[in-house]
Each structure stands twice: as C-alpha cells, then as structure tokens.
Amino acid sequence: MEAIEAALARCAVFAAIGTSGQVYPAAGFINAVVGRARTMELTLEPSAVSPLFDQVRHGPATATVPQFVDELLSG
C-alpha cells in the first residue's frame, strides 16, 4: 500500500478501468488524486464514484482503453 500511495501522490493521470468503485482499497484511490491529477473512468456503466472523475467513458475496455491511450500519446 505504501508504494501505491506514493505513486498516487506523484501521478499526473489516473485511470480507473472496469471497476465498480465499491471494492476497497482500490475504490478509495480516486480520493487521493481528485483535483490534482487528470482522472478518467473507463467502465461499462457508471460506477459509485463516477461523479469524482474529470471524464467518464462507458463501453467495453477493448474500445475505450485504446482510444484513451491514443489521446494520451497524441497530446
């Protein structure tokens, strides 16, 4: 957990992929980055923590993740 907390403290982009946002400790990771890092939720449907994210995209990870990665790499 210490390594995860250190990574969250220094990340510029945080993406939650395919999660319900209800299983801890991972469900609480968004709280560590809100307002500091760019946040993106990529899920099939809205999660319990969707309102905390800057952007939310719904659909299968096979479609949403490659699109998100392409956007990150292009600019």
Task: Identify the domain containing residue 52 by its residue range.
Answer: 2-74
Tell whether the model's pLDDT for residue 75 goes beyond 80: no
Q: What are phi and psi of 29, to 5 degrees?
A: -60, -35
Number of domains in the chain: 1
Q: What pLDDT, on the 0 to 100 scale, is given for residue 10?
A: 97
Q: What would the pLDDT profile of 7-55 be if each residue is shown by its tens digit?
A: 999 999 999 999 888 899 988 999 999 999 999 999 999 998 999 999 9
Number of Cβ within a 10 Å radius of residue 46 = 14
Give the contacts of 1 (CB within 8 A, at least 6 positions apart). 25
In this structure, what CATH number is given to the domain that contains residue 63?
3.40.50.1220
